[in-house]
Amino acid sequence: MESYAAGETTTALLEETIGANFERTARAHPDNEALVEVASGRRWTYAELNRDVDAFARGLMAAGLAKGDRIGVWAPNCAEWTIAQFATAKIGAILVNVNPSYRTHELSYAVNQSGMRMLISAESFKTSNYRAMVEEVIAAGSIPLVERVIYIGTEDWADVVAGGKDLPDGAVAERLATLDRNEPINIQYTSGTTGRPKGATLSHRNILNNGFFVTDLIGFTPADRLCIPVPFYHCFGMVMGNLGCTTHGATMVIPAPGFDPEITLRTVAEEQCTALYGVPTMFIAMQNHPTFKDHDLSSLRTGCMAGSICPVEVMKHCVDDMNMTEVSIAYGMTETSPVSTQTRTDDDLDRRTATIGRAHPHVEVRIVDPTTGKTVDRGEPGEFCTRGYSVMLGYWEDVEKTAETVDPEGWMHTGDLAVMREDGYCNIVGRIKDMVIRGGENIYPREIEEFLYTHPDIEDVQVIGVPDEKYGEELCAWVKLKTGAVPLDAAGVRAFATGKLAHYKIPRYVMLVEEFPMTVTGKIRKVQMREETSAQLGLTARAEQ
């Protein structure tokens, strides 16, 4: 049997815009709690959230934002992030997600590549001073297109809302009526294999439906309350989380701006959350926290785990100790909105832990020979490809890269090596390209290599992933120095990259070498580099929990 499968089509796709769907939910469940921000104690019913979304949307319109204009959000999880998400959707402005870990180098690129007119930014978070970084790139003339910066938690937000008070009450509704569900509404940057992040461009139809079906498969109703410790800047938070809730009238609960295991556990207990999201490392951190047994998690029923395969013991703890009897595993990528396969709530433990699930509703999946493009037999490894409503519109203003990823028949080539079992369930067995997954973050070495090439003492550099007990993988840079250069170590590389690259992209290890292992055809042998580095540094992969 061929490695091809199509998801069920019993439940119809939502053929409406995000704004129209949100308003429909607000009318149906006006008094249901929509959003809870634990850190501030603020709460909104659907009627109240719709009111505040409209107020901000009017302000954006009064500020001159038109359909198709790009508005960036650079902030950790907060209520304003969610309000901005739905306000931009209602006026047809394209929301550009900016990773809170980004630094000046990456911020400038995202702003300019997307053509961003407005930036909504946090002032600071943990060690990140966003205002200082924004002021630095503005002073350097690095983001000339941005006309206005709105800092969350300041008078800037109120000023935007005040600016829209003179617009007629029906202004937002009029704009919303002109929007089309197939139009772009979101740009999310993925680390690029060619050294520069690519802006995956997603439509209303892409992400509204994906959010809906992710939570539909775990039985969401208006009675569900989802704890969302995963980031909004990523599809996991804003699509599977926010849109997963709003399409069902469920409650979005923000435990903290960033992930904290104890706060997340406390939030589940105090807010009586029925569902919880996270990558496996998050669940491991919660299950191993000293206060784990102090929190009453009996309200939990379900949730989603994504980012990497879940160890069997972790899944058992979710079911037995966290009451998540209907927990689900999901697999996907930003370019597919994101989920392509998901386990079902009634799957046995084997399917939930040894697979990434089966094809999502209204989505096709096939495994192909990377060389010939032909569909392989079930049980044979090949490249995971998917097709359907969920495939992105393309990479923002990059026709060439889009054509390399989405073929003429509409199949998205993921670059992941997978196997489809006889029962249609799939599993990822490797990566065609050299992507590194560090603690759930996808990192492409080429981007880091191109940045390190700008170091005055580096002649050549290759970046690889090496085993790490905590994060699964860590980065190691093999560096060939210019003649006469002062020796460079990991501290020197970190000093050079700090403030310019996100922390998780800065190599933990640096190996000074005279040459790189090569094939007879001149290709770098990164597999050999990984083996040599692991042996020399005594590195081992994260143990199965």
Using the 8-state DSSP alphabet, how is residue 503 labeled? G
Residue with tokens 């981007």: 447
Neighbouring residues of 450: CB distance < 8 A, sequence distance ≥ 6 = 195, 196
The single residue listed with the structure tokens 């796709």 is 13
Local confidence pLDDT in tens for the 545 residues of the chain: 999 999 999 999 999 999 999 999 999 999 999 999 999 999 999 999 999 999 999 999 999 999 999 999 999 999 999 999 999 999 999 999 999 999 999 999 999 999 999 999 999 999 999 999 999 999 999 999 999 999 999 999 999 999 999 999 899 999 999 999 999 999 999 864 346 889 999 999 999 999 999 999 999 999 999 999 999 999 999 999 999 999 999 999 999 999 999 999 999 999 999 999 998 889 988 998 999 999 999 999 999 998 766 777 888 899 999 999 999 999 999 999 999 999 999 999 889 888 999 999 999 999 999 889 999 999 998 999 999 999 999 999 999 999 999 999 999 999 988 999 999 999 887 667 677 889 888 787 878 887 898 899 998 889 999 999 889 999 999 998 988 888 888 899 989 999 999 999 999 999 999 988 875 545 678 889 999 999 999 987 654 33
Is 279 in contact with 332 (CB distance < 8 Å)?
Answer: no
Please choose, from the candidates 218, 246, 184, the residue with its C-alpha nearest in 3D space to the C-alpha of residue 27.
246
Q: Please name which of 490, 441, 473, 442 lies closest in space to residue 540, comparing C-alpha atoms.
A: 473
Residue 114 near residue 120, CB atoms below 8 Å: no
Q: What CA–CA distance (Å, rounded) separates 540 from 484?
A: 35
137 to each of 74, 120, 141, how far by Cα in Å? Answer: 14, 15, 6
Q: Which domains does the chain have, with CATH numbers?
A: 40-180 (3.40.50.980), 436-537 (3.30.300.30)
3-state secondary structure of 318: helix
Q: What is the pLDDT of residue 511?
A: 93
Number of separate helices (H) and strands (E) present in the chain: 18, 28
Residues with Cβ < 8 Å from 493, sequence gap 6 or more? 452, 455, 477, 479, 506, 507, 510
Looking at residue 246, its amino acid is: T
Cβ atoms within 10 A of the Cβ of 63, count? 18
Per-residue burial over 328-349, b = 16 or more CB atoms within 10 Å of its CB, e = otherwise? bbbbbbbbbbbbbbbbeeebee
Predicted pLDDT at 544:
39
Say what the pLDDT of residue 63 is: 98
Distance CA 203, CA 181 (A): 7
Q: Can you tell me the distance from the alpha carbon of 530 to that of 79, in angstroms, rounded to the nearest whole number? A: 42
Closest CA to 355 of 424, 430, 279, 284: 424
Nearest CA-CA partner of 304 in 338, 332, 330: 330
Exposed / middle / buried, residue 158 (Cβ in 10 Å: 0-12, 13-18, 19+): exposed
Burial 83-104 (b: 16+ CB within 10 A, else e): bbbbbbbbbbbbbbbbbbbbbb
**Residue 56: what are its φ and ψ, rounded to 5°?**
-70, -35
Name 463's bridge partners: 477
Peptide bond connecting 370 to the previous residue in cis, omega within 30 degrees of 0: no
- pLDDT for 194: 45
pLDDT at 499: 94
CA dist., res. 261 & res. 255, Å (int): 10
d(CA 241, CA 212): 10
